[in-house]
Structure 1
Amino acid sequence: MELFDRQKDSVGQGEKTLLVYVELPSNRHIHNGLDEFLELANSSGLDVVQALKVNRNTATAQYFIGSGKVDEIAELVKEHEIDLVIFAPELTPSQERNLEKKLNCQVMDRTGLILDIFALRAQSFEGKLQVELAQLRHLSTRLVRGWTHLERQKGGIGLRGPGETQLETDKRLIAVRIKNITKRLDKVHKQRDLGRKSRVKSELPMIALAGYTNAGKSTLFNALTKAEVFADDRLFATLDSTIRRVILPASGEAVIADTVGFIQDLPHELVAAFKSTLEETRRANVLLHVVDASDEYNLEKIDQVEDIINEIDANKIPSILVMNKIDRLENFKPRIDRDKDGRIYRVWISAQNGDGIDLLYQTLAEQLSGMMTRAKIQLDVNAAYIRSEIHNIGYIHNEKVDDFGQWILEINVTNHYLSKLLHKQGVKLLWEQKPQQR
């Protein structure tokens, strides 16, 4: 058992916490598991006193780890007056109950920790409902422990956020609350579906950002949309999905969706609760898989994200790897990587300082070309102002003025934008070339 002292660099102000990371054959390939576990705990505001790494070949039914290790942990709990012990990976309800009796303090697992972080970060009405639903589903499996420990904690780690008062009720009320939340979410989801259908009807291209938590999705979202979505260098800084309509150079109008970040072994309760939010990813025309290029373990994280993309049935959507944060790499220039058929599969950028964003625009223009229409239009003298509008968007291939002072423009636009353009006074369609199906 390895012991890591975190008393000096701990920044949390919450419960005094001991972390126990159990390395099994099933997770031995994850090289940064303990570091990520520590980062999760710090993201929740805990005061991490120490972290233990325990190597085992199999988990025991009673404590998950051996009874000898449990005795050692009990001594540390007593010595440092620990309030909370968190285990990774996931514990069964009986293991959690047995450990609480043995250690005489609250015990939870990594799933409960992630749920707590989500409870802290949820801001929207839908997000709070989704988190509460996930919390209640998770805790309903732990009702065998009784409610005394919940009353004792008074809304501490794992119990704060949406649904806190409901956790002090009995199993029947928990079931009623789950049913009520599900009904309310159904209404929210119907409203979201209406908005989604409206975007589909308008033929606006849909671009979804996906990726491991803290890969820089929100920073990229802000760079592309000029929005001010909260972005921070910590796990799950963004929880609520955000959708913006934008105008992209050489692509025109599009919709960009920023979704919740993924993490290894994302709790199934959260995947289920956020199914509707992740639906934006499934409906996208292009999926930008954002990766932290400076992370030495990014290949493992790419695999983790792709597993979840498969789980939500979004694996058939054209996907581009966006290798972000190249500003953290030494002497690295933005570039586009193409496969043997000449198709772009990866682009290297820095969303923070804007390096390579032009290459990303080029990538999106190629990916969305199947939704674009090439057309020649005529602008009357009184409609010449529209020319500057089109120029700002940047899809004019050729332009000239005829003998009558009318502008003749050859443009490449989305079906949606062309339809809007032709409804304006003084605009006439000369010819249109429908997009080729890809």
Structure 2
Amino acid sequence: MRLGGRLSAAIEVLGDIEARRRPVADALKDWGLSHRFAGSGDRSAVGNIVYDALRLKLSHTWLMDSADPLALGYAVMFRQWGMSPDQLAAELDGDRFAPAPLPEEMAEAFATRRLADAPDHVQGDVPDWIVPHFVANFGGNWLREAQALALRPSLDLRANTLKANRDKVLAALADQGAQPSALARQGIRIPSGEGPSRLPNVTAELSFQKGWFEVQDEGSQLVADLVLAEDGEQILDYCAGGGGKTLALAATMHNKGQVHAFDADRKRLAPIIERLKRAGTRNVQVHEHEKQLANLAGKCDRVVVDAPCTGTGTWRRRPDTKWRLTQKNLEERIGQQADALAKASRYVRPGGFLTYITCSVLPGENQGQIADFRAKNPEFELVSALDGWKRLFGEKAATPYSPDGLSLTLSPASTDTDGFYFALLRRRD
């Protein structure tokens, strides 16, 4: 397919997403199944256009004075793929699969409007109701933080030290452009690229099948490190999900001690079994019912709560969720988080640690949640995560934003990772 056909396909998918209010991954999958002639490069390019359009959907709409999928597709070409209107017109000329020409009124709007004149939430490409939450968290830096969440993300990997060190994985993936991560100690990064460039399918690599590495955002790796797990400890990963942090903890502990993986949603937990086998872990027990945790009450050295959240920190990877999020969704998540914290805290031994993590940058889910928990549970004290950060990653490392001088908020703007919140609490003896 030439660019015209790819752009037309992306516009079609954007229209499907808008009309049927469906996740972008589902819409792209259905398009691929109904267009089997499209090669992997075509599917990747179409996906890039769609995701790029959704990341900057609000500012694209304002500059083109239209939310039509056609306007969004053309805006991607102009603003994110670096093509001038004349260059794009020349590229599409004679391509019978190209989309309709950009209507004159949209072209005129794009030529005369300046983003600096747009409302702040448009410049930040976030829903307007979210702005007060960003301001409460980041103050005067909120717009920079919001804009960074609209950039393309890299592909991040974690070397599994139970089977291979990072240098070995880097050598195996040298042809894929792999390089050491800036912060994560076992992290590997493959840059996102621009325009139609596609990220490699690293899970097809033999080194992945051998268990040498896992796909994991660098921010997720960093907060797993900040748990400060030690060999021989008893650790409960209370909201383990697919097991990314469980695997990281097991490797940090050199397969010594025990990591207990539990999630109230058994469907989310299901992939962990195969991942544990591939990674060569021997110190993980998987629990599908909370009653199986009864003998751990008051005995765990560390309990990790990677709580269900709005996922605002992952908007680079899942931009469609940005436009579906509502105040009601936020309130539901805050309730679920409070419940998870209350239940998980029962398993912390005196002198042990409770770690609270979200992939959100909204204060109500983060420092607000911790403040509410501590008010109800005075036996838990908030301790400095900054100390652990400096010890693990060095004084010169990029420093995450700290809303209170103790907990941390990672973000694309501060640490070049997905957005994560991390708080460390200690149960008094």
Please, what TM-score do these two structures have when normalized by structure 1? 0.30
Q: Which protein is richer in strand relative to its size?
A: 1
Which has more radius of gyration? 1
More helix by share: 2
